[in-house]
Amino acid sequence: MMEISIIDLSKGLDTIWVVLTAAMILLMEGGFALLEAGFVRQKNAVSIIMKVFVDIAFGALVYYAIGFAFMYGKDAGSFMGLSGFLLEGDLSHLQFNISIDTYWLFQSAFVIAVISIVSGAVAERIHFRAYIIYTIFMTGLIYPISGHWI
């Protein structure tokens, strides 16, 4: 019978916990969609729900491609990170009890929640294309760079 070390058990339990919490945060998106759809006129309900889909799709992809690197990459002049694009490259300075992929999932859930809050604030007040540009800018630059400073 194979023995499981306490370190392996700790890593496994930490991974399960982080994935579950990330799932709970991502499930909030459905609540945001329904809440925001209830606050707008019926003709705009589909548009507001599509904004939540944009948050998830564009937000996660942009944060994966560049946002995570800007936030957690190796420091460049105390301004932003410059390694770890597409979760590749040198991220050796990050010492977690979970994998980088798991940590990215957890952090992407938060970046998606942040942009969803703004989605409700601009409901019926912004063009859809402008909102997509905002989502890309927020998840690729604003949130990651300010997060790197913190």
The angle at the Cα of 135, spanning 131 to 140, to the nearest 5 degrees, equals 150
This prediction's pTM: 0.90
The answer, yes or no, to whether residue 2 has pLDDT greater than 80, is no
Output DSSP code: residue 75.
E
Taking every pair of Cα atoms in the chain, the longest distance, rounded to a whole number of angstroms, is: 63
Tens of pLDDT along 63-95?
Answer: 999 999 999 999 988 899 999 999 998 888 888
